[in-house]
A and B are shown apart, each in its own frame.
Chain A
């Protein structure tokens, strides 16, 4: 018997109730993503990419349909359970890096460990993770606003990885970087995929999607290619 898919969307719809009327961002979407896949989710703006990203990242729940991640139905979980899923199963990499401005690079990477183990990190894991993405000890004491975009995204990658998540969810990870730095970040992500992570990239950049082994194309909230 084959292993069940890591992520499973069964007839998922997401409807936003706006003053101008109901807006269907995802329209009866069904798809499966298996462990260790490298997937790009593509589509023009307004196609439902961000909504899809929020669903996969357990930041939101479907209006109808079933979303099963790592064998658990997201809709049936409490807010606290979803928070713990986000903390333990998923690593987020955002276009705008979203590092915590008041914490140093090192503390930003240490932060998810503190969330999980409720104490400061003594294992050296945060330090090792920073070194793995090419941030040296000197730089790790800097606050995010003292780092370049590329450096910030490296720190963000280290933060996403430090709790050893099964899924890496990347929202336009190179969107705010120059081509060379973007390339370096993509190299890191490819390496992580080789190490067994499931990597999902939301992007509208065809060059980035070429790294992926599978492209899921969205249009008007529907899957047109999978």
Chain B
């Protein structure tokens, strides 16, 4: 061993092994709290991001104003045919998908329910939806979302009555043509898991709004052109006034991930409180170590040890305590973090990603730094003792 001061610190820690170990347990708990909370938050972010990023190549266009008109539909918040044509011309080669949607009651068997009904041109369906079972819509067919299908035990061929359950009116009936794959939180605004998709002709026949669209999605061939395409569309449709709201999945994604990031930081800060407690116990142990070794410090100082060397000796002791805590804490974080992520998120497929595992070294470094900071004052106190007084103490 080369450094005598490190050797002295190590021997002091060994001499008071139990006390040192107990102090380090505080650091272990702190490191585990910070790293596993950080990993949990990151895993949450990664899993949400993966669900959303499936649709990041989509620009969502919705009407931003209430149009005043005459007749039955005196006012509406929709995109009309001329605006759609503007969008199509501005979107160039990219796919433009006009979408109708409304919320409606329905009855399956004897059970009533409510969900969103999307009206789409059947040729647009494969552009962004996946049919898990059955086939595409035609006529009075419907594609049902994965959640509805499983809740109501729907299979291709089942029937659904649309509209409020009222004895006096014959309600239109849809036949289930297929079942859509689960989408989770759909970043393109088409949340079909709890809804269904029908042919747009059937939709306008029953709900009206012919050539009036609730939403238009532009599916980009190249996601990197998103800003440029949005600008082109904006210049075209909003040339006189802002009438179309343009949004995309990436801005929603960043809102959600930044929210989750804030939550992660917050829960890590709560975990950090345990490190404050640990800091107090390390401080206590270091002060005890200094008080017990006053005479030894007196010897060291009187025979020519520099103050800086005495300080270094006690800081080494704090670092050793910190390293013990950090290493044990790091190992525990891995095990506990894995279990927590598995229990809370239900999957550990993101656990081994670098951005998740990085919280283990983060936590460890914070643990050691907390120890060193706690050791600063005791080390300073030791190095500034008067050698005569220190030698005299028993």
* Chain A residues close to B by CB (< 8 Å): 54, 57, 59-60, 79-80, 83-84, 86-88, 92, 94, 98-103, 107, 110-112, 114-116, 119-120, 159
Query: What are the 5 tightest A-B residue pairs by CB atom distance, in nearest-first order?
Result: A87-B304, A86-B304, A102-B11, A98-B299, A114-B4
Q: Which residues of B contact A99 (CB under 8 A)?
A: 299
Whether A83 pairs with B388 at a CB distance below 8 angstroms is no
Q: Given A59-B387, A60-B388, A119-B2, A102 and B304 touching (CB < 8 A)?
A: no
Whether B303 pairs with A120 at a CB distance below 8 angstroms is no
Query: In the complex, A116 Cα to B303 Cα: how many Å?
Result: 11
Whether A112 pairs with B387 at a CB distance below 8 angstroms is no
Asked whether B347 is an interface residue with its Cβ less than 8 Å from the other chain, the reply is no
Asked whether B307 is an interface residue with its Cβ less than 8 Å from the other chain, the reply is yes
Minimum distance in angstroms from A144 CB to a CB of chain B? 11
Asked whether B15 is an interface residue with its Cβ less than 8 Å from the other chain, the reply is yes
Minimum distance in angstroms from B365 CB to a CB of chain A? 29
Q: Which residues of A contact B301 (CB under 8 A)?
A: 83
Whether A86 pairs with B302 at a CB distance below 8 angstroms is yes
Whether B303 pairs with A112 at a CB distance below 8 angstroms is yes
Q: Could you say which of A87, A100, A112 has the most chain B C-beta atoms within 10 Å of its C-beta?
A: A100
Q: Which residues of B contact A94 (CB under 8 A)?
A: 391
Asked whether B305 is an interface residue with its Cβ less than 8 Å from the other chain, the reply is yes
Q: Given A98-B299, A100-B300, A101-B296, A59 and B4 touching (CB < 8 A)?
A: no
Q: Could you say which of A83, A88, A114 has the most chain B C-beta atoms within 10 Å of its C-beta?
A: A83
Query: In the complex, A115 Cα to B7 Cα: how many Å?
Result: 14
B286-334 contacts to A (CB < 8 Å): 295-296, 298-307, 309
Query: In the complex, A206 Cα to B305 Cα: how many Å?
Result: 34
Q: Which residues of A contact B307 (CB under 8 A)?
A: 79-80, 83
Whether B2 pairs with A83 at a CB distance below 8 angstroms is no
Asked whether B8 is an interface residue with its Cβ less than 8 Å from the other chain, the reply is yes
**Can you pick out 15 interface pairs between chain A and chain B where the beta carbons lie within 8 Å of each other?**
A59-B387, A83-B301, A83-B304, A83-B306, A87-B305, A92-B303, A98-B299, A100-B299, A102-B11, A102-B15, A111-B4, A112-B303, A115-B304, A115-B309, A119-B2
Which residue from chain A places its CB closest to the CB of B299 in the assembled complex? Answer: A98
Minimum distance in angstroms from A24 CB to a CB of chain B? 17
Which residue from chain A places its CB closest to the CB of B8 in the assembled complex? Answer: A102
Q: Which residues of B contact A86 (CB under 8 A)?
A: 302-304
Whether B8 pairs with A59 at a CB distance below 8 angstroms is no
Q: Which residues of A contact B11 (CB under 8 A)?
A: 102
Whether A59 pairs with B304 at a CB distance below 8 angstroms is no
Q: Say what secondary structure dominates the interface of chain A.
A: helix
Q: Which residues of B contact A98 (CB under 8 A)?
A: 295, 298-299, 302, 391
Minimum distance in angstroms from A191 CB to a CB of chain B? 22
Q: Which residues of B contact A102 (CB under 8 A)?
A: 8, 11-12, 15, 296
Whether B4 pairs with A87 at a CB distance below 8 angstroms is no
The digit string for B361-393, where 1 denotes a CB below 8 A from any CB of A, is: 000000000000000000000000001100100
Whether A54 pairs with B388 at a CB distance below 8 angstroms is yes
B1-48 contacts to A (CB < 8 Å): 2, 4, 7-8, 11-12, 15
Q: Which residues of A contact B309 (CB under 8 A)?
A: 115
Minimum distance in angstroms from B295 CB to a CB of chain A? 8
Which residue from chain B places its CB closest to the CB of A160 in the assembled complex? Answer: B303
Whether A100 pairs with B2 at a CB distance below 8 angstroms is no
Whether A80 pairs with B4 at a CB distance below 8 angstroms is no
Query: In the complex, A116 Cα to B304 Cα: how many Å?
Result: 9
Query: In the complex, A86 Cα to B8 Cα: how many Å?
Result: 21
Query: In the complex, A79 Cα to B299 Cα: how many Å?
Result: 16
Minimum distance in angstroms from A212 CB to a CB of chain B? 23
Q: Which residues of B contact A119 (CB under 8 A)?
A: 2
For the A-B complex with A60-B388, A98-B391, A115-B306 known, give 20 more contacts whose Cβ atoms are closer than 8 Å.
A57-B302, A59-B388, A79-B307, A84-B304, A86-B302, A87-B305, A92-B303, A98-B299, A99-B299, A100-B296, A100-B299, A101-B296, A102-B15, A103-B4, A103-B7, A112-B304, A115-B304, A115-B309, A116-B304, A120-B4
Query: In the complex, A102 Cα to B7 Cα: how many Å?
Result: 9
The digit string for B259-296, where 1 denotes a CB below 8 A from any CB of A, is: 00000000000000000000000000000000000011
Whether B8 pairs with A103 at a CB distance below 8 angstroms is yes
Which residue from chain B places its CB closest to the CB of A82 in the assembled complex? Answer: B304
Query: In the complex, A103 Cα to B296 Cα: how many Å?
Result: 11
